[in-house]
Structure 1
Amino acid sequence: MRNLIRVFLAALAIAAIYTFGTGAIAESPKVGDQGKAPEFVNIDHWLNSEPLTMQQLRGKVVLVDFWTYSCINCVNTLPYVKQWHEKYKDQGLVVVGVHTPEFPFEKSTANVQAALKQFDIRYPVAQDNMYGTWSAYRNQYWPATYLIDTTGRIVYQHYGEGRYKETEAEIQRLLAASKTAPAR
């Protein structure tokens, strides 16, 4: 009987992992060339900026941050993303927030604008209500951070909170490499 209970509990644990996942926070960053960064597609509105393209951003280090304003994990990452924007924007880092709604009320441009004001977000934000850019990146979680090198390649990806020192170190590495790379 005890063995049957153990088998049942193990099966239940495995089913829970497959059903609910291991959680974005447990994800380790993916480092290395992951292919060309997709364009921003099917964007409803650009806030804090004119529309941007990856082609325009060539030669810059780009941090793409998938977030939504009512996600507590996303809100917890904002101080770091904002700090990186302020600290490295003059060195060639461009931060682009991609606001992809989880709930219908998050599709409202007025609500997103209010969140930008509330959280004092000054970098460009693309409103991705149709999940076009989300899908192009094959993204699955909020928040998600992608770092793109000066040639337009995704070289770092992290889901969830945490790993802030690792992410910042990668930003610094990419910025340093951009200063020594030959012009293209």
Structure 2
Amino acid sequence: MRFMGKILEIMKKLQFSTFFLVVSLFSLSCENKTDTILSGMHRDASTLLYNVNFKKKPFFKNDTFIKKYNVYLEKSIIDSVYGYNFKISDSIQTIYNFNNTLYIINHSNRSYKKRREINNQLNQLIFPNCNLKKDDLFGNNTIIDTLEDRVFVLKKYEDENEFKNIKEKYSFSLVNNELINITSEIDFQNTSQFISNEYEKLNLNVSIDIETELKQLLGNYTNQKYLEKKESKSHLKLFSDIRGVVLENNKQKELVEYNSKVIILDYWFMACYPCIKTTPMLNRINEKYSSNEVQVIGVNLIDRNVEKLKNFVNYNKIKYPIFLTNESPLLVKEYPTLIILDEKYNIISTLYGYDENKEKEIFNLIEKIIQE
């Protein structure tokens, strides 16, 4: 599959959704029909406006998350990441991409953040117009079905380690030759995840002045980087306000009761695959040093099913304490987030995401703090 490959790419870019029943198999005639559909998907249009109805049931969750996005795209020869300047809005925020920079606008507190990185969820929202190719729809384990006004393509993929039953479905309209929906599904550690994107109300005759809109917003909104500096407290006071429950013994505890020369807070949750990949590294750090030297603490703000959490911790052999709390004065929004503190709870370093090369960096930092 062109836009996926290794399982990490599957987790980042593939959308996992509900399974559907296929009743028949077509070959060349259906492939020609899909060629016609792809030719009508307006990838060459200079501007596009449409809605995306997004649904997701994460791993280890029973509830389905639902959100609606309004997406505007305009082709850009300057943009080397997405190929488009764009504006994506939901009920809470607006995200602009202009000249290779993402601007995340928060209307509730009139602030914004700037980013220069690929956001894979945004990739999925612009997926049908930028990325879909014929090779994505055909190949091994592809089943095609037709109704009077639609074509369905089901693709199945081989299991990848712990990832099982990987499926993806596309549906196309034969009325207007447009992509209607992408739904996909995957199983992992006895739980499943699905994601569904439904595309609607495609309009080719709309032009939005992104540059002017953005300039006006940035002139009236506050850069969140400076907002956070203005509102920051002393580090010890910041962490002394955090109270929670230790998963292992269900006892109430204050975070600052953990005393070591180095304290590593791992902000994580069960449905976060990069968080799971980070666990072995944190186990090795926790095992190498005594509790007086280094204490790793898994801080969970999201999961509240204690039985599922304990099963998850046992299955993934997590050896450090798990601290459940509702209090997040640091406003952690990216997972995993590793916050490295000294014994006075001063923040020494903050690291985001999973990177297999990060372990050496953390060990070097620990040694430096311990020797001081």
Q: TM-score, normalised by structure 1?
A: 0.71
1:17 to 99, 102, 123: 102
Displacement of 1:51 after TM fit? Answer: 4.3
CA contact (8 A) 2:265 2:296 kept: yes
1:6 to 43, 61, 76: 76
Q: Which runs of 5+ in 2 are unaligned?
A: 1-45, 47-73, 87-95, 105-114, 120-232
Displacement of 1:158 after TM fit? Answer: 0.5
Give the fraction of aligned pairs with identical amino acids, expressed as a percent.
Answer: 18
Displacement of 1:71 after TM fit? Answer: 0.7
Decide which structure has greater strand share.
2
For 2:246, the equivalent position in structure 1 comes to 46
Displacement of 1:91 after TM fit? Answer: 5.5
CA contact (8 A) 2:339 2:349 kept: yes
For 2:185, the equivalent position in structure 1 comes to none
How has the CA–CA distance of structure 1 residues 65 and 78 changed in structure 2, closer, same or farther, with 3 Å as cutoff?
Answer: same
Q: Residues of 2 paired with 1:57 and 1:23: CA distance?
A: 36
Displacement of 1:77 after TM fit? Answer: 0.5
Q: Residues of 2 paired with 1:83 and 1:75: CA distance?
A: 14
For 1:119, the equivalent position in structure 2 comes to 316
Residues 1:137 and 2:330 are matched in the alignment = yes
RMSD: 3.3
Q: TM-score, normalised by structure 2?
A: 0.38
CA contact (8 A) 1:65 1:143 kept: yes
One-letter identity of the residue aligned with 1:117: N
Q: Residues of 2 paired with 1:150 and 1:41: CA distance?
A: 16
| Matched residue count | 159
For 1:27, the equivalent position in structure 2 comes to none
Q: Residues of 1 paired with 2:297 and 2:291: CA distance?
A: 15
Residues 1:173 and 2:258 are matched in the alignment = no
Displacement of 1:88 after TM fit? Answer: 1.3
Q: What does 1:25-44 align with in structure 2 at a 5 Å threshold?
A: 35-37=234-236, 38-39=239-240, 41-43=242-244
Residues 1:65 and 2:292 are matched in the alignment = no
Q: Residues of 2 paired with 1:138 and 1:78: CA distance?
A: 22
How has the CA–CA distance of structure 1 residues 107 and 156 changed in structure 2, closer, same or farther, with 3 Å as cutoff?
Answer: same
How has the CA–CA distance of structure 1 residues 158 and 5 changed in structure 2, closer, same or farther, with 3 Å as cutoff?
Answer: closer
CA contact (8 A) 1:58 1:152 kept: no
**Stretch moving more, 84-93 or 108-117:** 84-93
Q: Residues of 1 paired with 2:246 and 2:253: CA distance?
A: 8
List per-residue Cα deviations over 1:116-175 (Å, max 9, x = no partner): 1111112111123x3x1xx21221211000111022211111011122221221122112
List per-residue Cα deviations over 1:26-63 (Å, max 9, x = no partner): xxxxxxxx9514136352x3123654434433453100
Structure number with greater CO (CA < 8 Å, separation at least 6) is 1
Q: Residues of 1 paired with 2:332 and 2:274: CA distance?
A: 16
Residues 1:157 and 2:350 are matched in the alignment = yes
How has the CA–CA distance of structure 1 residues 17 and 145 changed in structure 2, closer, same or farther, with 3 Å as cutoff?
Answer: same
For 1:29, the equivalent position in structure 2 comes to none
How has the CA–CA distance of structure 1 residues 61 and 89 changed in structure 2, closer, same or farther, with 3 Å as cutoff?
Answer: same
For 1:28, the equivalent position in structure 2 comes to none
How has the CA–CA distance of structure 1 residues 125 and 112 changed in structure 2, closer, same or farther, with 3 Å as cutoff?
Answer: same
How has the CA–CA distance of structure 1 residues 109 and 10 changed in structure 2, closer, same or farther, with 3 Å as cutoff?
Answer: same
